[in-house]
């Protein structure tokens, strides 16, 4: 088991996640964690400090979501032009948040909005929430997250140490819980 990580940034991120969960509940907009926080929720423990909270939701919820985040004093951060159709970035209390947007292809397959070549697994969106320190959230399937990490490497992204560790943890989660 990893040593608990309870620094100021982690506490602020957990608080921001609670605020996003409240907005989700109020609006009926589902979201899924991905990346480091998703792994932590899957494991039920905080494994390391995180730089950002990565979330996924459906593109049709973008306008309502952005309006509600702004109402709750989240700051909208501009994204590069090539990502505008795929994500929105926000910040609150020095916590960076990225919302990635998914849609369905004409065949009904899940894909990143505006990126038809990136088809996701049909079981990507787990519907059972996971609990971490009293907060609950749905997460992307660990196989989906592992495939993403591996795809990044295939297109030339050099893996960072945290990517190597994330892949190790995702394989363990899959072996232990999703065989």
pLDDT of residue 5: 65
Residue 87: Cβ within 10 Å count? 19
Q: Nearest-CA neighbor of 38 among 26, 56, 12, 18? A: 56
Residues contacting 5, CB < 8 A, separation 6+: 46, 47, 48, 49
pLDDT of residue 1: 44
Q: Which domains does the chain have, with CATH numbers?
A: 8-141 (3.30.460.40)
Give the alpha-carbon dihedral of 61, 98, 39, 26, to 10 degrees: -40
pLDDT of residue 6: 73
Give the separation between CA 25 and CA 94, rounded to whole angstroms.
23
pLDDT of residue 152: 77
Compute the half-sphere exposure of residue 94: CA atoms within 13 Å on the CB side of its CA: 6
Burial of 9 (0-12, 13-18, 19+ CB in 10 A): middle
Contact (Cβ atoms closer than 8 angstroms) between residue 48 and residue 162 = yes
pLDDT of residue 14: 96
pLDDT in tens, the chain (179 residues): 445 567 899 999 999 999 999 999 999 999 999 999 999 999 999 999 999 999 999 999 999 999 999 999 999 999 998 888 899 999 999 999 999 999 999 999 999 998 888 899 999 999 999 999 989 999 999 999 999 988 877 777 788 898 899 999 999 999 998 75
pLDDT of residue 155: 74
């Amino acid at each position: 088991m990893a040593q608990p990580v309870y620094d100021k940034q982690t506490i602020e991120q957990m608080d921001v996640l609670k605020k996003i969960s409240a907005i989700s509940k109020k609006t009926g907009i589902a979201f899924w964690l991905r990346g480091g926080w998703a792994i932590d929720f899957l494991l039920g423990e905080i494994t390391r400090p995180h730089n950002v909270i990565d979330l996924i939701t459906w593109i049709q919820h973008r306008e309502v979501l952005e309006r509600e985040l702004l109402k709750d004093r989240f700051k909208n951060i501009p994204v590069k032009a090539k990502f505008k159709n795929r994500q929105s970035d926000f910040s609150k209390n020095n916590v960076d948040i990225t919302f990635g947007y998914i849609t369905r292809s004409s065949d009904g397959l899940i894909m990143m909005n505006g990126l038809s070549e990136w088809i996701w697994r049909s079981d990507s969106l787990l519907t059972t929430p996971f609990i971490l320190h009293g907060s609950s959230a749905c997460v992307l399937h660990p196989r989906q997250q592992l495939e993403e990490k591996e795809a990044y490497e295939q297109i030339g992204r050099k893996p960072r140490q945290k990517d190597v560790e994330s892949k190790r943890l995702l394989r363990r989660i899959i072996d232990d819980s999703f065989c």
